[in-house]
Amino acid sequence: VARKLLECGIEVGSISHDGQTPLFVAASCGNAPVMKLLLPQPGIDANTPDGDGQTPLLIAATKGHEEAVRLLLSHPGVIVNVTKDGNSGTPLTMAAMNGYDKVVRLLLDHPDINVNYETGYSFTAVVWAVINRHEVVARMLV
């Protein structure tokens, strides 16, 4: 369906009533095949936030969608330390908070990652991992 829509000239940057782009929806669902179709399209912006301020990378990391995170991290210009409001968690913080060790590893391997970013509570990713008893993730972050 996605391929057919692209062939018909659908606008890849179109935004739904709640501010979601097709890429955001695919990332939120962890739909890597659709993301692979969308990311190379001219005019695609992998950093466009939804109505709540979440980017595709932030939502994919929050939900633990490993392949979606991998695809987004390989896309040129993706912002890895993004937050939805400048005060909440980054993709790394959210993945650590939820115990997604494979996603945390992908993010840690990115050269621009800030492991010391503090949320509004002054907590870093490692603190969130410890609070939520994600020992494997906490060890990765120290």
Q: What is the pLDDT of residues 92-117, one digit of tens each?
A: 999 999 999 999 999 999 999 999 99
Q: Which of 7, 53, 3 is nearest to 26 (CA)?
A: 3
The helix-helix angle for 101-108 and 66-73 (nearest 10°) equals 10
Tens of pLDDT, residue by residue over 115-128, are 999 988 889 999 99
What type of residue sits at position 138?
Answer: A
* Whether pLDDT at 18 is above 90: no
Amino acid at 104: V
pLDDT for res 5:
52
The pTM assigned to this predicted structure is 0.91
pLDDT tens digits, one per residue of 70-100: 999 999 999 999 998 877 899 999 999 999 9
Report yes or no: 95 and 109 within 8 Å, Cβ to Cβ.
no
Which residue ranges form the domains of the chain, and what is each CATH number? 2-141 (1.25.40.20)
User: How does pLDDT run across 34-52, given as a tens digit for each residue?
Assistant: 999 999 998 899 999 999 9
